Structure 1
């Protein structure tokens, strides 16, 4: 897990070469809106200014994200690229797409352990692999020149692309976050 996390962080760090942190965010989300797992997700993000080579293809911004669950369910860290646009003078929309590594359950217990297997089916998600896609559409409002707030819907899944397992329950989190621009 640590090796994968460090590899993911190194990959995002290479994307961020020449970029400066342009914004930090803190968020609170309702974990797993389908109600298999519970708790709130507390998140922190750093969004970097778009480096020169990414400005040529739509001013994509690298980001890093880390999330911890208050009930000990899915915790993760990773990064990717963000595209954002103002809709009006104060309202904006954005979309993030990246890769995360997590500490959630990968596989179900074997069939010969039926009690444990059923308990997991009732109380936990099974993600299929340690690496998942991170996709997040959001809409927000600028409060002033330094502060903004947004509502987001975060989806985590391997899409049967990142690993070959049949399990892919994924996770959806609905949340609010506060942005501080530098």
Structure 2
């Protein structure tokens, strides 16, 4: 419930931030939670709703191929683990319409961190703070709109045990200001 309130407040402030030239793009999507395409599904099969805000790349990051700072969340619709994340996203154009993107950063989740995995409801991730990365292949419909296929992953990189990770795959729509 708190994550939904934060999402609503963040979304409400996006137009003002875009007008101030801070926000570059907003995205919304739907992911197959803990997708069985990559491993045995250990959580709910209910989908995740993804929301993400990408900010304009600051000048001081130009040396690193101008990544855009990003914040987002994957909210599970069936009581499984939800995450909030922040990081940097690098977008590379293959053609004027086709692009690839990768991001890397950190995440915090509301899943289990100790004890046995609770059936099919939540995985024991070992620690609260995790690494987060995703990769997308996208197509620009026009100058403002794009569609992406995205693989999204969260893991603790063996910083604590266990380290099962959480991977989702889905589609997203982006609107660039």
Which interval holds the TM-score relative to the shorter structure? 0.7 to 0.9
After TM superposition, the structure 1 = structure 2 runs for residues 8-23 of structure 1, keeping only pairs within 5 Å, are 20-23=22-25
- Please state how far the C-alpha of 1:124 moved relative to its aligned partner: 3.1
Distance 1:127 1:52, change over 3 A: same
Query: What's the TM-score once normalised by structure 2's chain length?
Result: 0.82
Query: What's the TM-score once normalised by structure 1's chain length?
Result: 0.80
**Is the contact between residue 141 and residue 147 of structure 2 (CA under 8 Å) also seen in structure 1?**
yes
Quick one: which of 134, 137, 161 aligns to 1:136? 134
Distance 1:90 1:71, change over 3 A: same
**Is the contact between residue 85 and residue 107 of structure 2 (CA under 8 Å) also seen in structure 1?**
yes
Quick one: which of 84, 88, 95 aligns to 2:95? 88
Alpha-carbon distance between aligned partners in 1 of 2:21 and 2:88, rounded to the nearest angstrom: 12
SS of the aligned residue for 2:43 comes to: coil
Q: How many residues align?
A: 154
Distance 1:121 1:168, change over 3 A: farther
Post-superposition Cα deviations, 1:23-81, rounded to whole Å, max 9, x if no partner, equal: 00001000001321121000110001110101122111100011210101111112000
Q: 1:36 maps to which residue?
A: 42
**Structure number, greater radius of gyration:** 1
Distance 1:19 1:167, change over 3 A: farther
Alpha-carbon distance between aligned partners in 2 of 1:85 and 1:74, rounded to the nearest angstrom: 31
Q: Does 1:73 align with 2:75?
A: no
Q: 1:54 maps to which residue?
A: 61
**Is the contact between residue 47 and residue 77 of structure 2 (CA under 8 Å) also seen in structure 1?**
yes
Alpha-carbon distance between aligned partners in 2 of 1:124 and 1:76, rounded to the nearest angstrom: 12
Q: Over aligned residue pairs, what C-alpha RMSD do you find?
A: 1.8
- Please state how far the C-alpha of 1:166 moved relative to its aligned partner: 2.1
Q: 2:9 maps to which residue?
A: none
